[in-house]
Structure 1
């Protein structure tokens, strides 16, 4: 398909499926994995998202059949990106404070998805392939004849405002607020903004690829269902003409020129693919007697660490849902957690904060820093009559990690950092035991 053809994206469903799709019939090999002599003079190329010898249950790889091999390009040259940073972040000390930011300001006109990325915090190391970096993106221009390939990590995109048209080697996806997008490490993409402007959150995962969490005692159903994840069908970009490819590699940025689009895949088969997922399909679980369940009950995707049950990064959501527990304080309890929590808000109001946590903003509660509902929320929740309550028009989320999120110097110096966040916990009255 030429770049001029802007038909609606088409999808195939299932998380981790062995997909097979072709934009032109008769391209995919039948009965063989990947013969080097491909129909129609195309080129076979393997993209491996895990080691060749990774266990079958977690092995990720896709065979692509393309107009030209992706190796057909010249030398890359180093370029700068002033605001997209890569862990480890050691330029400033990580403060032992709870932190909260308002939404980031609009970018200058002509800013595309890549140029509008600002790094807020992160942990681990891209070189050791552990940890994550959390960014915000702001865009008011599409990527024209420009493509991105991130060798440092996969990218989990959480739109907050405005849709994104995401063109990848495997095909095209449109993702809007209320949905998420998962772009595998090393896959080329080009991102357009059909609404004229878009903003949201981006988790760059250096560690194990995101996967669906195990369900354990929940049984065979609940949380995110595999069939609700949508992967694209093959859609070849055959247009020629010089294009630029930006590679992110060990935190550096390298630009090269190519004579045609790197999205020239006519057919592909495998289980390494971009996905989108509508968060409205999430089957929220919770208590129907007493007590407030741990937030892990709302895990959509998890990137496991080498320690069983301890995540490199969990993606957790707080969607519209019923609260019906009896004799229970319903907002999240006060707590200190060995896991570190970075939260964002897509829309509405988060039920643990009366004000100050706004769509597009971020809060950060690192390892063992006490937090919980603010004074106003505590007072309201302590005095209201308990009855079944429906939380509506809200979508908050959390990136939770075994590693401390170290804020970047640019985030700590940002004018939208709230200087008085600690004040929300003033005003609690002392208890009066008999």
Structure 2
């Protein structure tokens, strides 16, 4: 456990309650350690903390239109990394048709988030039907393939050399956010038995980033039964019941869906806005201290961002302050509608992420400028 020098103190004009009752004409900024779990201070500024007029250098907010990525990927291993570090690798996979081989990840657990398309997943453990909004966790070295009912686009989040777990929900109890009973596991059903055959099958195994191919004279997905407490699981974003507070804007960590080694996966789902007139209704300005933050926009109206559409990804690396876009500040306390209307996947990584070639090819270079505050007009001489 880390120990910090902590001593609560109030200096100058400040609110005693974070994210509410801001002094008139001020903008709140949170500086914290360990994401939103460590000690923190709230600053109250005269100007928006993102009100820059120019930005030079590589550290900047970035956005990628992954929906515009060209090409198709018959295998998940054909999809190049979008963002990655030693603990996590994020890829966007566009599967045009049913896979003619099996995949197996020897590098870590795989999380599939189905952004578009429907079909059936077959794996060692049986059969799972899937639809948009499904999270599917595949334990490391599971053999699997998908049968596409229609072309599939999926966000793949690999827990490199790690394992996915459910978050500790503390005093909320284990049934909050979503009940573990909502998790579905594959079934050894008629569809699974029907796909078993005696023809030749290839298994493409990824280990340390390299792919090896093993060929069998039969379909190795030939299980007749299994028992144990390790299996793939599936849950849909529609089954997530987000935490809410009508008097306090909760931090993103309240929406954690899965945890892994040195990163977390959170889900933003529709929820009512805070009803207290003095509570912030938009994400508060905060420093990206200790974590790189990634958001994949799945569906809906992304109220805190301008010019963002489904299939885009934003990347806010550790080291600067960010928060709502300038236009969203107009609705900081008086939203235009009673509830949010968005689904998004957030990945917070403890270690610096590298930007892959795939992401750079579809980068929106003007994203950093979309935060700008216009310079005031010069006084007449």
Pairwise CA RMSD of aligned residues? 2.1
Q: Specify the alignment match of 1:298 in structure 2.
A: 255
Count residues in correspondence. 314
Match of 2:343 in 1: 395
CA distance in 2, matches of 1:143, 1:387: 45
Aligned equivalents of 1:274 and 1:365: distance in 2?
31
Q: 1:160 aligns with which of 105, 112, 115?
A: 115
Q: Deviations over 1:98-143 (max 9, x none)?
A: 110113436547x42426523101111xxxxxx1100101111211
Task: Label 1:102 to 1:388 Cα distance change in 2 as closer, same or farther (>3 A).
Answer: closer
The aligned residue for residue 335 of structure 1 is 286
Aligned to 1:204: 158
- Say if 2:107 and 2:208, in contact at 8 Å, map to a contact too: yes
CA drift of 1:238 comes to: 3.2
**Paired position in structure 1 for 2:303:** 351
Match for residue 149 of structure 1? 104
1:238 aligns with 2:238: no
Tell me the secondary structure at the aligned position of residue 323 of structure 1.
coil
Corresponding position of 2:329:
378
Correspondence for 1:120 among 82, 85, 89: 82
Q: Are the structure 2 counterparts of residues 321 and 204 from structure 1 closer, same or farther at C-alpha, using a change threshold of 3 Å?
A: same
Partners of 2:275 and 2:209 lie apart in 1 by 47
* Inter-partner Cα distance in structure 2 for 1:239 and 1:219: 45
Which residues of structure 2 form unaligned runs of 5+? Answer: 1-56, 377-381
Report the TM-score, using the length of structure 1 for normalisation.
0.68
Report the counterpart of residue 211 of structure 2 in structure 1: 253
* Cα offset, 1:427, TM superposition: 2.1
Q: Does the 8 A contact of 2:77 with 2:206 survive in 1?
A: no
Deviation at 1:405, TM superposition (A): 1.4
1:220 offset after TM fit, Å? 4.3
Closer/same/farther in 2, CA of residues 115 and 247 from structure 1, 3 Å limit = closer
Counterpart Cα distance in 2 of 1:406 and 1:107? 21
3-state SS in 2 of match to 1:411: helix
Instruction: Note if contact 1:107-1:116 (Cα within 8 Å) is conserved in structure 2.
Output: no
What is the rounded CA distance, in whole Å, between the counterparts of 1:141 and 1:157 in structure 2? 17
CA distance in structure 2 between the partners assigned to 1:147 and 1:206 by the alignment: 20
Shift of 1:270: 0.9
- Moved runs in structure 1, 4+ residues, more than 4 A? 106-109
Q: Is contact 1:116–1:138 with CA below 8 Å preserved after alignment?
A: no
Once residues 161 and 113 of structure 1 are traced to their aligned partners in structure 2, the CA distance between those partners, rounded to angstroms, is: 17
Q: Name the counterpart of 1:283.
A: 241
> Does residue 97 of the first structure (1) align with residue 60 of the second (2)?
yes
Give the C-alpha shift of residue 153 in structure 1.
1.1
- On the 8 A contact 1:341/1:398 being kept in 2, the answer is yes
CA distance in 1, matches of 2:356, 2:78: 16
Q: Of 180, 186, 189, which aligns to 1:226? A: 180
Q: Is the CA contact 1:324–1:388 (under 8 Å) kept in the aligned structure 2?
A: no
Decide whether the 8 Å contact of 1:344 with 1:360 is kept in 2.
Answer: yes
Q: Does 1:425 align with 2:374?
A: no
Question: For structure 1, which runs of at least 5 residues remain unmatched after alignment?
Answer: 1-93, 125-130, 306-311
Maintained 8 Å contact 2:108/2:162: no
Q: Equivalents in 2 of 1:162, 1:220: separation in Å?
A: 31
